Amino acid sequence: MLLQSAVSAASQLHPLSGTIAEWVWLLPILPLAGFVINGLLSLAGAHFGPSDPNTPAHDDAGHPHADRVVFVQGDPQITHVEADAEDDHHGVKRHRWAGAVSVVGPGVLILSFLLALGIWQAMVAANPTTPFLQTYFSWMPVGDLQINAAFQLDQLSMVMILVITGVGALIHVFSIGYMRDDPGYPRFFSYLNLFVFFMLVLVLGANYPVLFVGWEGVGLCSYLLIGFWFNDKANADAGKKAFIVNRVGDFGLLVAMFMLFANIGVLDFVGVSAKAVDLGAGSALVTTICLFMFLGCTGKSAQIPLYIWLPDAMAGPTPVSALIHAATMVTAGVYLIARSSFLFSLSPVASLTVAVVGAVTAIFAATIGLKQWDIKKVLAYSTISQLGYMFIGVGVGAYVSGMFHLVTHAFFKALLFLGSGSVIHAMHAAYHRTHSAEDAQDMRNMGGLKRYLPVTCVLMWIATLAISGIPPFSGFFSKDEILGSVFARAQGSTLASASWLGVPGSTLLYIVYGIGLAAAFLTAVYMTRMMLYTFHGPTRTGTEEEQALHEAPWIMTGPLVILAILTIAGGWLNLPEVITDLVPLGPREVLAHWLDPVVGGSTARIIAGAPAVPTSTEEALIATAVIIAVVGILFAILRLKPANLPRARDAVPEHGFEGVVAHKYYVDEGIDRVIVEPTYRVSRTFFWRIVDNGLIDGLLVNGSAALARAFGWMGSRLQTGNVGIYAWVLVVGVLAMLGALTLR
C-alpha cells in the first residue's frame, strides 16, 4: 500500500518494521471513519430549521431549561421558559439510525483497541529501543523548517494508545445505554469518535506540530461535546469557556514551539531530544521554553490558573466527562511533559515549577471538592486534584510514576464518572416519574441508593478506595510511588540542588511532599463524603420517586465491572521493589522497564548521583500514606452524618469560610471582574467604536471612497468646456512630457 511504503529510511532497520505496527495509521483512521459515518447518519435524520422539536425538556441533571436559545427571525434570542412539565415525553422515538450508530460508534473503537493490542504484542516481542517512525507526507517544507506528517510509535505512545482505545471503547459501550433516548444520538457518537481520532493523533504525533493538531482537535471536540445540549445557554457557555481557556494555554505551547525552532531548528521529538543539550542545561532559555509549554499543559489539564473550565464542563453528558475530562484529554498535558522529558530534565527550575503548581492545585481543588453538592462537580474537582498529583510526578522527574498514575486514574476516574452516570440515570428516571423539577445530580437529593443500585455502589466503593490510596487497589501503588519519588528527589537530585525563587529545591520538595500527604487526606475525606451522601443513610429522593430508582441495564453496568477489575488489578503494572521484596506479589516495575527507553535518560539526568533511599525510609513512607488514607476515611465516616443532611430545596446557604469554599473561592467571579469585564469594556469602547467603526469603517473604507470622489472632483475640474483652459492644459502637459524626457 502506498502509505505503508512511505516509510523513513531509518525504520527499514527498525525491529518493528514489517510487523503489524506498520498499520499504526489505521488506529486513528478507524475512529475518523466512524465520525464520518455517524455524522452522515446524523445529517440523514436531521430536522433543519428552528430548534429541534424533539429536544428533551431536561438536560442531564434534570434541570428544566431556564434560558432557552430560540431563533426569532434568524437571530438567537434568549427567552426565559418556565419549567413546563407537560413538555415531557414518554415513549420518545429513538433516532432512526440509532441501531446502525450503536454498531458503528463503539465498533470502530473496539476494532481500534484490538489493533492496538496487536501492535502492543508486536512491541513486546520486538522490544525496540528506538521509536518506530512512519512518515506519510511532507507537511510543511519551508526553507529551514521541515515538518512531516509522521507518527511515532514507542512505548510511551503505546501506553496512551491502550488507555485511550481501551477505556474509550468501554465508555462508548456505556453510552449506548446512557444516551439511548437522546435525539442527537448519532451526533454524539460522531463527536466521540472524532475526539478519539484527535487524541490518537496527539499521542502518535512524531513532532510538536502534529501533536498540536491533535491538541487543538481535542479542544474542539471538548467544546462540541460539552455544549452537546446546546439549546440550553448554560451548556453553550460552558463549551465556550472550555475552548477559550484552552486557547490561552495553546498560546503557551505555540510560543514554546517557536522558541524551540528558533534555537534548535527542529521540531520532531527525535531531533529535539538529540539536540536538547545544545540549549544549555539549566539555562534561562530551556526554562522559558519549558514554562511556556507548561502553560499549555495547565490549560489542557486544568491546573492553576487555567482549571476554571473543568467544573463547568460537567454540563456535558456524563460519558463525555468520563472520557474527556477524566481519562484522556486532560491527561494530554501530562503526556506532553513526559514526552518532552528531555527538555524538562534539563531545567530544574521549570520542573520544580511544575511540581509546585501541581501540588498547590491538588490541595486547592481538594478543599473545594469538600463543599460541592453536585456529584459530578465533586468528581471534577477530584480530577483536577489527581491531575495535580500527576504533575507532581512528572515535575520531579518521576515520569514513570506520573504515567502510572495517569493509567490508574483513567481506570478509577472513568469508573467513578460512569458510576455517577448510572446514579444520575436512575435519579432522572425517578424525577421523570413525578415530573419533578428537582436537581437529579445534587447529592442532597440522593442518599441510601445502595438499596436500589447495589452493583453500582460496590463498584464505586472500589474506585473510592483506589483513589484514596488503600492497598491493594491500583491508586495506592501509583499515588504512593509519586510521593515516594518526591521524597527521594528531595533527598538528592538536580532539583534539590537548584533554587526556586530563592527557596532551595530540597525544601520545596519536602513542602510538596507535605502538601501531597495533606491532599491525600482530603481526597479520602471528600470521596468518602460523596459515597456516604449518595449511597448510605436515608433516602432523600422522595417516596414517590423512590419507586422508579433502579439499577442501570447491563450495557451500562458491564463496562463498570470491567473498569473495576482494571482498578483492582492496575497496581500490578508497576509494583515497587520495596513491596515485592516483602511480599512476592508479582513482576516488579513492569511499567518502569517498559518506559525506560523513552524517559529513562531524562530521569537519570535528574537523579544523577543521588544516594538511593534506604528501604526502611520507603517502608515508612508507604505506611504513612496508608495510615493517612485510612484516617481520612474514618474521619469522614465518623464526622459526617448523612442523616442530618437536608434536601436540596431545603438547603441553607453556607456562611463564612464554608461559603467561600462552596463558591469555589470566588475564583470565577474574580476572573470575571478582573479580566472579563475590562476586556468587554475595552472592546466595546476602544476596539469597537474607535478602531472598528472609526478607523476601519470610517477612515479606510469610507475614506478610500471619499478619496476616489475627491480625485474625481479634481478630474472634473479639468473638463471645463473652456477652450482657453484646454490650451493651458495642453501646454502644461507638453511641459511635463518634455520634463520627463530631459530630467531623466
Partner 1 sequence: MEPHYPLFYVFHFYLFGVIALASAITFVTRKSPVAAALWLVNTMFSLAALFVMLDAQFVGVMQVLVYAGAIMVVFLFVVMLLNLGHPSELADARGGGWKLAATLIGFGLLSEIIVITKTKLPSQLVVARDFNEQQLQKLNAVGMIAEPLFRNYLLAFELTSVLLLVAITGAVVLGRGRAAGAR
Partner 2 sequence: MLAESLALTAALFIIGVIGVLIHRNAIIIFMCVELMLTAVNLTFVAFSRFYGPAGQVFVVFVMTVSAAEAAVGLAIIISIFRHRQTVDLKNINLLKG
721 binds, among partner 2, partner 1, none (CB under 5 to 8 A by kind): partner 2
Maximum separation of any 2 CA atoms in the chain, in Å: 116
Q: How distant, in Å, are the alpha carbons of 432, 518, 657 from that of 366?
A: 33, 9, 15
Q: How distant, in Å, are the alpha carbons of 136, 420, 485, 733 from that of 379?
A: 40, 9, 26, 84
Using CA atoms, how far apart are residues 356 and 346, in angstroms rounded to an integer? Answer: 17
Q: Is 739 in the site for partner 1 (CB under 8 A)?
A: yes
741 binds, among partner 1, partner 2, none (CB under 5 to 8 A by kind): partner 1
Phi, psi of 395 (to 5 degrees): -70, -40
Binding-residue total with partner 2 (CB under 8 A): 8
Rounded least distance, CB 72 to partner 2, Å: 53
Q: Is 732 in the site for partner 1 (CB under 8 A)?
A: yes
With respect to partner 2, which residue has the nearer C-beta, 604 or 727?
A: 727
Rounded least distance, CB 77 to partner 2, Å: 55
Rounded least distance, CB 721 to partner 2, Å: 3
With respect to partner 2, which residue has the nearer C-beta, 66 or 727?
A: 727
Rounded least distance, CB 688 to partner 2, Å: 45
Pairing of strands 499-500, 75-80: unpaired
With respect to partner 2, which residue has the nearer C-beta, 284 or 718?
A: 718
Q: With contacts defined by CB under 8 A, name the span among 69-77, 489-497, 501-509, 734-742 that binds partner 1.
A: 734-742
Phi, psi of 79 (to 5 degrees): -115, 140
Is-contact 396 686, C-beta < 8 A? Answer: no
Give 11's Cβ-side CA count (13 Å radius): 23
With respect to partner 2, which residue has the nearer C-beta, 609 or 721?
A: 721
Q: Is 731 in the site for partner 1 (CB under 8 A)?
A: yes
738 binds, among partner 2, partner 1, none (CB under 5 to 8 A by kind): partner 1
With respect to partner 2, which residue has the nearer C-beta, 501 or 741?
A: 741
3-class state of residue 136 by DSSP:
strand
Using CA atoms, how far apart are residues 486 and 223, in angstroms rounded to an integer? Answer: 35
Is-contact 214 198, C-beta < 8 A? Answer: yes
With respect to partner 2, which residue has the nearer C-beta, 623 or 738?
A: 738
Binding-residue total with partner 1 (CB under 8 A): 9
DSSP H helices in 205-232: 208-226
Q: With contacts defined by CB under 8 A, name the span among 349-357, 400-408, 549-557, 725-733 that binds partner 2.
A: 725-733
Q: Is 741 in the site for partner 1 (CB under 8 A)?
A: yes
Is-contact 27 200, C-beta < 8 A? Answer: yes
Rounded least distance, CB 49 to partner 2, Å: 57
Rounded least distance, CB 735 to partner 1, Å: 5
Please name the amino acid found at residue 565. I
Rounded least distance, CB 722 to partner 2, Å: 5
Handedness of CA 718, 722, 723, 728 (dihedral sign): negative
Beta bridge partners of 70: 77
Q: Is 727 in the site for partner 2 (CB under 8 A)?
A: yes
653 binds, among partner 1, partner 2, none (CB under 5 to 8 A by kind): none
Is-contact 317 179, C-beta < 8 A? Answer: yes
Rounded least distance, CB 744 to partner 2, Å: 20
Q: Which 684-723 positions form the footprint of partner 2 (CB under 8 A)?
A: 720-723
Is-contact 603 400, C-beta < 8 A? Answer: yes
Torsion of CA 219, 223, 226, 227, to 10 degrees: -170
- Which of 191, 159, 210 shows the shortest CA–CA distance to 590? 159
Rounded least distance, CB 707 to partner 2, Å: 25
Give contact residues for partner 1 (rule: CB under 8 A): 724, 731-732, 734-735, 738-739, 741-742
Give contact residues for partner 2 (rule: CB under 8 A): 720-724, 727-728, 731
